[in-house]
Amino acid sequence: MSLTQTDIDSLLNAATDLADEAQAPSASTPDPAPSASSVSPPPRAQSALARSMPPEVRRILSLRVPVIVKLAEQTMPVSAILKLTSGSILEFERSADAELELLANNKIIGEGQAVKVGENFGLRISQMSSIKNTIEALSE
């Protein structure tokens, strides 16, 4: 089955509506704060939400998209870029402890601090856009 851009936009709008419903205040007690390694709702809540979604929306939500953590940026003349060599250091007008931006589809969807996880780098998210804004960023 082939989907048109209109079909995809319609499904993303449906996902946004479902996200709004899922974030509506409830009478239940709040969940405990997530751990640093937790990135998804508890399996019970996730499966209940997944069951309420049409199969097309579930399929779109399972798509893998690249996310980017932006350290800093600046503009440089091409002549300066051509002079860069191994070992060159670029200095940015940004504090080393400043929050880093989390992007999806080149749109900011959150912020956080750089962390070291074993031998890898990671991002401890301190602020995320709403699910609705995140879905809108992905659909543009």
Angle between helices 131-139 and 5-22 (to 10 degrees): 170
pLDDT tens sequence across 36-87: 444 544 455 555 666 777 787 778 778 888 899 999 999 999 999 999 999 9
My answer on whether 16 and 73 are in the same domain is: no
More confident residue, 65 or 12: 65
Question: Structural domain of residue 90, as residue ranges?
Answer: 66-140
CA dihedral 104, 107, 112, 114 (to 10 degrees): 60
In terms of domains, do 19 and 83 share one? no
Q: What is the C-alpha separation between 72 and 127, in angstroms, rounded?
A: 18
For residues 129 and 110, the answer to whether their CB atoms sit within 8 Å is yes
pTM assigned to the model: 0.60
Residues 78 and 136 in one domain: yes
Whether residues 16 and 78 share a domain: the answer is no
Handedness of CA 85, 87, 93, 99 (dihedral sign): positive
113 and 94 in one domain?
yes
Task: Check pLDDT > 60 for residue 34.
Answer: no
Do 56 and 73 belong together in one domain? no
Please give the span between the terminal C-alpha atoms of the chain, in angstroms, as a whole number.
22
Residue 100, burial from CB neighbour count under 10 angstroms (0-12, 13-18, 19+):
buried
What 3-state DSSP class applies to 65?
A: coil
Whether 122 maps to a domain, the answer reads: yes
Is 30 a member of any domain?
A: no
27 — pLDDT class (breaks 50, 70, 90): very low
- Pair 88, 114 in one domain: yes
CATH number where 98 lies: 2.30.330.10
Mark whether 129 and 97 lie in a shared domain: yes
Q: Are residues 19 and 45 in the same domain?
A: yes
Q: Are residues 74 and 132 in the same domain?
A: yes
d(CA 90, CA 100) in angstroms, rounded, equals: 17
pLDDT of residue 18: 64
Rounded alpha-carbon distances, angstroms, from residue 31 to 28, 34, 35, 45, 57: 9, 8, 12, 11, 25
Asked if residue 93 and residue 107 are part of one domain, the reply reads: yes
Count structural domains, the chain: 2
Residue-wise pLDDT tens digits, 75-121: 999 999 999 999 999 999 988 889 999 999 889 999 999 999 999 99
